[in-house]
Each structure stands twice: as C-alpha cells, then as structure tokens.
A and B are shown apart, each in its own frame.
Chain A
Amino acid sequence: MSRSLLRSLLPIISLMVVLGATFYVQPRTMSYFGLNLMLQYAVPIALATIAQMFVITVNDLDLSIGPFVGLVGCISATLLYTNPLFGTLVLLLCIAAYAAVGALIHSRNLPSIVVTLGLSFVWVGIAVLILPSPGGKAPDWLKSIMGLQTPLVPLPIIAAIVIGLLVQLALMHSSLGVIARGAGGNPRAMERAGWSMLKTKSIMYALAGFFGLLSGLSLLGLTTSADAHVADRYTLYSIAGVILGGGEFIGGRVSPLGAVIGALTLALAGSFLIFLKISPDWQIGAQGAILILVLALKAPLTTRDVSQ
C-alpha cells in the first residue's frame, strides 16, 4: 500500500526536487515573473504530453506528435492568420487525419511506432510546403491569450492545473474514460463486452490530434512566428512526460495529472540546466540523465503484475 502511494507521489516529488534545485541555483526565479518565464513553454509541452497520453492509453505510441505540433503552428501562422475560416477547416481536417490513422492502425493491425514515424515525415513535409522558411504571424487573439497576466499565480501554472484536472476528470472519473482505459488494459475483454475497439482507438487518436492542435496553437502564441521544426523535440518530451508522470507504455495505466506534472518537470529541468551554465550541446544528454534517474527510482516501486 505504501509502495503504491509512493509511486503515485513520485511525479510530484521529482517536480519538487527540480524546482527546489532551480530555486537554490537561481533564487531570483522564486517570483511571479521568474516562474512565468521559466514555465511558459511548459504549457505547449503539457498539451503535447496529454496528446501522447491518449495514444499510450490504448497501448500505442505516437512518434509524430512533435512534427504535428510544428505543422499546426505553420498552418496557424499562415492559413489561420490570413483566412480564419479556411484555417479552422484545415486544422479540423488534421484532427480527422489523426482519427483515420488510429482506425488504420487498428483495422490493419499495424505497429503504431512505424506508422507514426512515417507520418512524422509527412507532417514535416506538409509544414515545409506551407511555410518553406521560418516566419508567418500568430493571430493576435492567440498572442493575447498566451500573454495574459493573471493575478497572483502565473498563467502557465493555472493552465497546467486546469488542463490536468479537466483531463483527469474525463479519463479517470467519467464512465467513458473507463472504456478508454479498459481498451488499454484488456482489449479482448472489451470486445467481449461488446465495445468496438475501432471506435475507441479512433476517438483516442482524435483526442490526441485535438490536444496536439492546442499544443501547436499555444506554442505559436508564445513564439509569435512559426517554424516547421520548432517542436521536433516534443515527441520525446511527451513520451518522457507521460512515463515520468507515472504512466506505463502498455496496460492502460496512465495519469493525466501526473503527465502534466511530468511535462512541468521536463520544462523546468531545461531551465535548471541553463542556470547551471551547461552548454546547449550537453543539455539533451543531461536531460536524458535526469530522465533515467527518475525512471530508475520508479522501477523498484512498480509492483509486478501477477498476470496469468
């Protein structure tokens, strides 16, 4: 019992440790402005992590979420800026594409890793066609939303809490969320109970597309101009965020709140390494090391399932 409690507390403990270390190295970050600056990129990362979490819930992996976020940025900085109606339509089409990919992966029994890896090049390709060189303009409403100065608590923290709670409620506490998690836990049992796995997977992929879309929009609101490659790293971040947050690759065991916390931890770890004056060349490696450390801590806490 205490072990499972410890396991569920691990994400928040890791966040606190990284936050504490950051405050220690750079005490000036311990302010409204400091936190806002440090955490603003956590919002798109958190949204991409939630997107990834929906795919992981049904035992798949999405290796195209980063390029997809980049594509959304490119569409929004061009088509949505010049022609909001047409832009919206194209963005909705992107979500439909995600749902179709989920249906394809299920009905043809394809490995999601291979399909989404291939798709990641498709997304980048389309993004480059739309916006050959970095540029474009973010719609003003997007910039003002992301630049909002909320009283007392900085926007990124409020946004993270709201996103986490909403998804937590939908996936962990609603009656339909049970079906989604059950599909990851024992797909055969779900089919025997009369649920369509095709439908479930399509919906989960569509949700992933939707949150990928939100991630792309929020990122564009911060950067104000787009680049096809701006979010390539998000693929890895999102997977790491889900796992850091207590999720598992298979078995439908995920935690939306945990995933958001995991995303915050990763975003903070980036800032922390900058404050340590570690050269950018080493940062990815250092982030990887932090990740391995946390996962190593998690391993002994994971009770082995006595499956038959």
Chain B
Amino acid sequence: MGLEAIRLGGVEKSFGAVHALAGVDLRVAAGECLGLVGHNGAGKSTLMHILAGTLSPDKGEILLGGRQHETNWSVNVARANGIRCVFQELSLCPNLTVAENVRIVHGNLQGFGWKKRSHDLACAKLDEIFPGHGINANDAISDLAIGKRQMAEIARAFTVTDIPLRLVILDEPTSSLDAVTAQQLLAFVRTQVAKGTSVILISHLLGDILGTCDRIVVMKDGKAIAERPAKGFDRQSLVAAMGTDLTEKKSTVAKSAEAKSAAPIAVRAKPKTADQSGELIAHQGEIIGLAGLSGHGQTRMLLQIYAKAEVEVTAPLAFIAGDRQSDGIFNLWSIAENVTVRSLRALKKHGLISSDAEDGLAAEWKKRMGIRTPDIHNNILTLSGGNQQKALFARALGSEAKIILMDDPMRGVDIGTKLEVYEMIAQEARAGRTFIWYTTEMEELQYCDRAYVFRNGAISATLSREDLTEEKILHASFAESSAA
C-alpha cells in the first residue's frame, strides 16, 4: 500500500447501552477506493460520522497521513484536512440553489463575485462527473427530483477551492441514481482515485463494491471482521462474511405454521413504493417479519397498511413506533395516560372518560408487561427507555386492535426487556393477534412465521420459516449492481 490517508486506531463509540463501534481499526491508503459493507447496525454509519467529524469517538485515535492531529476532532478539523462526506439522507438545504449549497461547504466562497464562482464550480463538477446531467446550478434543490439532488450533493463533495481532497466518503451514493448516472459516478470514482484521492464507498449493491473498490472491509457488530483486496472476494464470500456462522439458531417459540396459514387473511398488501413487487399476506395469528436493509420501504409499508391505502385489512390496527421520542410517547403525560390513549373510546362512561377504568387498564398492563414503576401516575419520562417502550407495547396490546404493526420497536432496548416482550408477542399471537414486525435485527426474525425482504421499496423475497436464514436474507437485501 502507498501513503496513508487516514487511520483509525481502536475507535469505540457507544450510545447508551448500545456499542455502535467496539474498537475499529481502519486504514485507508492515499489513492485507494475502500468498500465498506455490513448489515444493519454493523456500525458503518457511526464510523462514517466519526470520520466526517460529526461524532467524536469515545476512545481511540485518528491519524492523518501518519500524524496525530493536534486539536480535538470535529467537523471543521475534518473539513480542513480535506475529508468530505455524502450522507445517505441528503444534507442539502432545499430552499437554496445548487450553487448556494456549494457555497455552504466552502468558507472562502465569499466577497464580490462569489455567486458566479460558486455557480461555475458547481457546473464544472457536475459536467465532469455526470455529463449531460441537465441540472441548472441556479435551480433550488426543492425543485429538483430526488436523483438530481443526489447528483448535486455528490458533485458538491468533490468540489475543491483551497483544501485538496484527502478522503471522500460516499454512503449509498447510488440509491437514487439511475443505471447510467450510477455508472458515471463509479467511473468518476476510479479516475479520482487514480489522482490520489481516497474514497470510501458504502453500498448495498455488491456488484458495484466488487467492481469499483480496491479493498473491501466487512463490518459486523461494531467491528471490522474481514478485510481483503476486492479480488479476494466474490458475491458469495462477501455475503458469507457479513453473516454469522451459519449454524442456525433454533427458535424457542412453538410452531404451528400449517394451522396458521389456514387461518383467515388479516392483511393483504402490496407496497406502493415500487412498480413491481411481491405481495404481503398475513393470516390471523401470524407473526410476519419485514426484513432487509433499513430505509428500503419497510416503514412505508407499515404506514401504508396503517392508512389502509390499497390494502386489505380485516381487523382494527395498532401501531408501535420505533422512534419513541418523535412518534411514540407523549412527553408531558403520565404512564397511565400514555398506555390508555389508544383505548379512550372503550373507557367511556356516560360520554366521559372514566378515570377508574383508565387506571384499571393501565394497572393491568403495567402488571402484564412488567413496567417497572412505583406509580403509574408518574410522568412517562421517569421510566427507562426500555420501560417506555413497554408502555408503548401496552398501549397497542391493551387496545381492541387485532393487528399490531411494529416499526423496529426494539431499537436501543436492553436484552432483558427484549426477551420479555418477545414472550409477550408469542403469547398474543397464539391468542389470535397478528403481528407485522419490521426489524433490523436478525435474531428477531427467528420469532417470525414468515419474513418479507425489502429492497428499493419492493418485496424482493418471501422467506418461510424454514428458509429464514441470515444468508438468504442478506442475499435478498443486497442487489447485484445499480445497472441490474
């Protein structure tokens, strides 16, 4: 390997109880394209945020060109050293034009004539990467289609004014690009690498990774577990490296698959997010998993079912949010109020809400879910995160709903709580409730009767219980290449 562009040594990062990065060593040579692959929660994006300076590591060192940098690692230090990042969720200001967005990342684009310089810079880079792009640098971002926005952001990352580029990190850069522009980008990455800039490419398109990168690092559970030149991998071995040892974990949940598939249909839906897609069918009493890489349409599927948009639903629905803070809890309310809000209609007496009935329901579910609190009238925020999540489960399960939609509800929940809730779900399913469960964790799929794997908004595979192996899920989650 040639000169070193950047090196991470023993980098660790935790969010509460979750160890996102558990000691990562990563070395990127100058003029190298490094591929980074891994399943959900492997730590790819945390690592990327640390490189970009938007997160600072709890432990470990960052070396630039073999030297320890002097000051605290931050966005501005990273930028001053020529590190740029294209985030998966775009970081453009929609109210500004393409040229103005370029100005934001260059402190020295100011003074007289900055608009023209910024405009020319944007146009030149767009022309270089995406010939025939059809973007006017004076267009506001909000007027551009999503694919063009992504092109604008990629081009912006490669613009240079005073600081030479050291490293550009591309996180799923082709997710909204069509086949032609994706190929243009990958070709550009190769020319850029030849000029000495380093690129880190994160993608679920394994063909792109294999075809573009010099070296591939596989991440799992916050560690870099495999690292080889790209030639040393093929699709099979890459998928195998991402998974665990393929010895199957046997689920403890009793199965009665045949009996369940004979039960009447509870939900029949087809994702609106793709033109061609398989169909999702859930029978009464089934636990259905939605798998695949996060952000590929699973949450939108749940919302579509909840909205009953072109979906056949035979029973009342309840939704358990994964993002507790923004979609789940009412911050100012008590635990009891948070639990009962879904059931207020059933708690009415003479047209008013009966507080006795409310307390009764809350107390019952406090006991059944094992919510740890001395008093259900305490504010919801007095609970730990896991117990708040239990309260959300109690809200759904305590209601009359027969179909429960779950949007990755176990995010950041401790393992003890998880096991309690899994048991609860299995119990309720035996009692005839249907669960549709989006999860980013492989182990949780073991509790499902059937899983649908999502890719680019479509159902790319339907896996019955016997087929539910990590390998098969990974295969269905990662597509061949953007041209495919």
Contact with A along B105-123 (1 / 0, CB 8 A): 1010111001100000000
B85 neighbours in A (Cβ, 8 Å):
192
Interface-central residue, B91, B92, B93, by most chain A CB under 10 Å:
B93
Report if A276 contacts B (CB, 8 A): no
7 examples of A-B residue contacts, CB within 8 angstroms: A181-B95, A182-B96, A189-B93, A189-B104, A190-B93, A192-B87, A194-B75
Determine if A252 is an interface residue (Cβ-Cβ < 8 Å): yes
Alpha-carbon separation in the docked complex, A190 to B75 (Å): 11
B100 interfacial contact with A, CB 8 Å: yes
Chain B residues near A (Cβ < 8 Å) = 52, 54, 74-76, 79, 85, 87, 89-96, 100-101, 103-105, 107, 109-111, 114-115, 142-143, 145-146
A188 shortest CB reach to chain B, Å: 7
Residue numbers in A under 8 Å from B74 (CB-CB): 194
| Contact partners of B109 in chain A: CB under 8 A | 175
What residues of chain B lie closer than 8 Å to A307, measured between beta carbons? Answer: 94, 142
Contact A305 B94 (CB under 8 A): yes
Query: Contact: A189 with B95, CB < 8 Å?
Result: no
Q: A179–B91 contact, CB under 8 A?
A: no
Identify B104's interface contact among A195, A303, A305, CB under 8 A.
A195
Residues of A within 8 A of B142 (CB): 303, 305-307
Other than the known A190-B104, A194-B76, what 5 A-B pairs have Cβ atoms closer than 8 Å?
A175-B109, A175-B110, A184-B95, A192-B85, A193-B79
What is the CA–CA distance of A175 and B54 in the complex, to the nearest angstrom?
24
Min CB–CB distance A47 → chain B (angstroms) = 24
* Residue from B54, B91, B104, B145 with most neighbouring chain A CB atoms (10 Å): B104
User: Is there a chain B Cβ closer than 8 Å to A108's Cβ?
Assistant: no
Q: List residues of chain B with CB within 8 A of the CB of A194.
A: 74-76, 79, 107
Q: Which residues of B contact A189 (CB under 8 A)?
A: 90-93, 104
| SS class, residues of chain A in contact with chain B | helix
From known contacts A176-B110, A306-B146, A308-B90, infer whether A253 and B95 are also in contact, taking CB-CB under 8 Å: yes
Question: A175, A181, A185, A251: which contacts B111 (Cβ < 8 A)?
Answer: A175
A contact residues around B110 at 8 Å (CB): 175-176
Residues of A within 8 A of B145 (CB): 306
Given contacts A192-B75, A194-B75, is CB(A178)–CB(B104) below 8 Å?
yes
Cβ B91 vs Cβ A188 within 8 A: yes
A contact residues around B103 at 8 Å (CB): 175, 178
Q: In the complex the two chains form, is B75's CB within 8 Å of A186's CB?
A: no
Q: Which of B79, B89, B96, B146 contacts A181 (CB 8 A)?
A: B96
Least CB distance from B148 to A in Å reads 11
A182 and B91 contact, Cβ closer than 8 Å, known pairs A176-B110, A194-B76? no
* Contact pick for B100, options A178, A191, A305, CB 8 Å: A178
Cα-based distance from A178 to B146 in the complex (angstroms): 22
- Asked whether any CB of chain B lies closer than 8 Å to the CB of A277, the reply is no
Q: Which of B52, B111, B114, B115 contacts A192 (CB 8 A)?
A: B52
A22 to B181, CA, bound (A): 56
- A51–B337 alpha-carbon span in the complex (Å): 41
Please give, as numbers and ranges, the residues of chain B lying within 8 Å of A190 by CB-CB distance.
93, 104
Closest to B78 in A: A194
Contact A175-B114, Cβ < 8 Å, known A182-B104, A189-B91, A189-B104? yes
Q: CA–CA, A96 to B77, complex, Å?
A: 31
Residue among B87, B95, B105 making CB contact with A185, cutoff 8 Å: B95
Q: Mark A122-156, 1 if CB is under 8 A from B, else 0.
A: 00000000000000000000000000000000000
Map CB proximity to B onto A243-254 as digits: 1 under 8 Å, 0 otherwise: 000000001110
The smallest beta-carbon distance between B74 and chain A, in angstroms, is: 8
Instruction: Give A162-193 as 1s and 0s: 1 = Cβ < 8 Å from B's Cβ atoms.
Output: 00000000000101101101101110111111
* In the complex, residue of chain A having the shortest beta-carbon distance to the beta carbon of B115: A173
CB pair A182 B146 closer than 8 Å:
no
Evaluate contact between A185 and B93: CB separation under 8 angstroms.
yes
Query: In the assembled complex, which residues on chain A have CB atoms less than 8 Å from the CB atom of B52?
Result: 192
- Please measure, in the bound complex, the distance between the C-alpha atom of A193 and the C-alpha atom of B79, giving whole angstroms: 8
Residues of chain A with a CB closer than 8 A to B93's CB = 181-182, 185-186, 189-190, 252
Q: How far is the CA of A303 from the CA of B94 in the complex (A)?
A: 13
Alpha-carbon distance between A176 and B115 when the two chains are bound, in angstroms: 11
B96 and A185 form a contact (CB under 8 A): yes
Bound Cα distance A24, B92 (Å) = 48
Residues of B within 8 A of A308 (CB): 89-90, 146
